[in-house]
Structure 1
Amino acid sequence: MLTNTHRIRGLNLDKSHLTIDGKPLSDIAVFAVAGGITIGDAKPVTMFQSAPGRSGGWDVTLDDQHGYPALQRREISIRIAATGDHMEINEAKTLVDGCSMRVGGLTDYGEFHGRLSVGAWEDNRDMMGTLKWSACTLTLDADPHTYGTTQRIDLPLDGKAVHARILGNRPTYPVLHQLVDEKVDDVTPVATTHTFTVNNQSVRAYSTLKGTGLRDETHELLLDSEQRQTTWQGEAIPIAIDDDYPSMPPGPATFSATLSPKTNVKSYSQYVTYTPRWLI
């Protein structure tokens, strides 16, 4: 005889609106304890050189191209608890694990990303020794920023520019998606240059349109500035040795992209995605 062990876990006691990897805490049968949330600060990495006759010394902090110093990671702690019968409590313990995770609901500006660690569970029993509830502290070793909802900007073809406003209050990184349909007739393979320009900074990637005559799926060029990697049909390809991946400050931005020659191109489309970053 088969036993159906599928059931709804725990009680929906959580009112915090917190999420882990997009799921509310009630999905893992735990709830946030009142007053048990702390968000550490994100300190800038600065350096000052002492100099005779100059109070405070010289600021020799290494800034990025947009004038911002690097930031240290921040620590976020969340006190959670599980209740119910002993089976529900023990099951909740197994559902809370530590790995790379996203924690939402702590701010209106998106999610914190980082490594989650689970502290020791503290069991609380009644006078008869029955387990009534258990609590622990989750600690997120987080990136200094919060990450908003991914944005998409459709690009016109043939290098025509489009203007957009970049959300957030700290620089972020664009990702170019270029979807190419090759011609289906047998043609000679052609070396192709893909050019992506952000605020007058261009980066070029190189691929080959083989023109095999096979009716393949649309081929994607993915130029990921944050990961500093470009792929063509899932395989890594190089960018020009004297180019670099662009980043974008918040505010107005101009984008364009094209590929040449188009000898073996039947049609193509392209768009940019980015994730707003906020420092709070």
Structure 2
Amino acid sequence: MLCQRRMLLPHIESPMLNNVPLERMMFSLSSGGMTIDAVESSVSVQDMPGRDGRLDLTLTDPTGAAYMGNRDITLNLYSIGTEDDILAAKQRLTALSGTMVTLSWRGLPGHYRGRLGLGAWNDKWAGGHLVATLVTITVNAYPYLIGRKLSITLQPGVNTIRVKGNRPCWPIWTLTPASGAKTVDAQDAHGHKLTFTSVTAITGDITIETDPDSRELRVNGNLMTPTLDSDYFPLLPGANTLTLAGIASASVAYQPLTLI
């Protein structure tokens, strides 16, 4: 019975680059394994005469935590096989050098994302033939694990949703205005609001990307702007109260961020 139960367990290949197990790229972790560097807070302090200690000028996120710098993840790899196999593996891995990749393994609640750097090849020869190669790759990664995208349906009025992860994340809003509405509005419980107004009734879907790297508001695919007093506010880990006005239906999608 115990053996049968074990046979039913899923086989987990890890780690994975761009969702492809290293084994399928003809690489495995060497005895050096993998190293994940510590993440450092971006802290700023200033000496001030007449004051004990130092003045903390650190910029913080909505939870009060300092923003984090990137972290390096180092993997020591090897490949064995015929010369043709090893050369094919080299070409496949080298194609990723300098690109943005995702890195994940086992049961992590998401993936790391960063730019891949490739070290020197350390080839091993026997009898005049290439039989193995070793290489170190480094991923300069965003500090948080990025979870899979989740979508939640919202209703007009007050909504309470629970957001996974342990760091603020940036949502994507999809709003369908109510018939005849000239203003649509989304607010959280911390005084932030995101508003779009029009001189005529708004028709069609409104999509709002709040991520600082790709921030935009579109109505029927056309780029528009929110009101000047709007905030592209994040969702906080845990319970969030969102109040929507001027809509017939809505949804919010997000990728949870987790710091470990």
TM range (shorter): 0.7 to 0.9
Please tell me whether residue 203 in structure 1 is matched to residue 188 in structure 2. Answer: no
2:192 alignment partner AA: Q
Of residues 232, 254, 273, the one that matches 2:219 is 232
Q: Whose radius of gyration is greater, 1 or 2?
A: 1
For the structure 1 residues 53 and 119, does the alpha-carbon distance in structure 2 shift closer, same or farther, using more than 3 Å as the test?
same
CA contact (8 A) 1:206 1:237 kept: no
1:130-169 alignment to 2 at 5 Å?
Answer: 130-156=129-155, 159-169=156-166
Change over 3 Å in CA distance of 1:34–1:259 after alignment to 2: farther
What are the Cα deviations for residues 215-246 of structure 1, in whole angstroms up to 9, with x where unaligned? xxxx5422111132112233321111111101
Which stretches in structure 2 are left out of the alignment for 5+ residues?
A: 1-11
Contact 1:206–1:238 (CA under 8 A) maintained in structure 2: no
Q: CA RMSD for the aligned pairs? A: 2.7
Query: What's the TM-score once normalised by structure 2's chain length?
Result: 0.83
Look up the match of 2:255. Answer: 275
Contact preservation (8 Å) 2:28, 2:77: yes
Percent identical among aligned pairs is 26
| Aligned residue pairs, count | 243
Which TM-score applies when normalising by structure 1?
Answer: 0.77
Q: How far apart, CA to CA, are the structure 2 residues paired with 1:51 and 1:180?
A: 52
Check the 8 A contact 1:168/1:276 in 2, yes or no: yes
The one-letter code sitting in structure 2 at the alignment partner of 1:277 is L
- How far residue 119 of structure 1 moved from its aligned partner, in angstroms, is 1.6
Q: Would the alpha carbon gap of residues 27 and 162 (structure 1) be closer, same or farther in structure 2, given more than 3 Å must change?
A: same
Which residue number in structure 2 is paired with residue 178 of structure 1?
175
Structure 1 gap segments, 5+ residues each: 1-14, 183-189, 212-218, 261-267
Give the conservation status (yes or no) of the 8 Å contact 2:27–2:89: yes
Are residues 210 and 221 of structure 1, via their aligned partners in 2, closer, same or farther at CA, if it must alter by over 3 Å? closer
* 1:222 is the counterpart of 2:219: no
Please report how far the alpha carbon of residue 147 of structure 1 lies from its aligned counterpart in structure 2 after TM superposition: 1.1
Map of 1:116 onto structure 2? 116
Aligned CA distance change for structure 1 residues 151 and 73 (closer, same or farther; 3 Å): same
Write the distance in 2 (CA, Å) between the matches of 1:136 and 1:180.
Answer: 55
Task: Report the CA distance shift for 1:70/1:132 in structure 2 as closer, same or farther (over 3 A).
Answer: same
Q: 1:181 to 1:192 in 2, by over 3 A?
A: closer
Amino acid at match of 2:40: K
- Tell me, yes or no, if the aligned pair for 2:177 and 2:202 is still in contact at 8 Å: no
Q: Which residue identity lines up with residue 253 of structure 2 in the other structure? A: T
Partners of 1:89 and 1:180 lie apart in 2 by: 57
2:87 is aligned with 1:90: yes
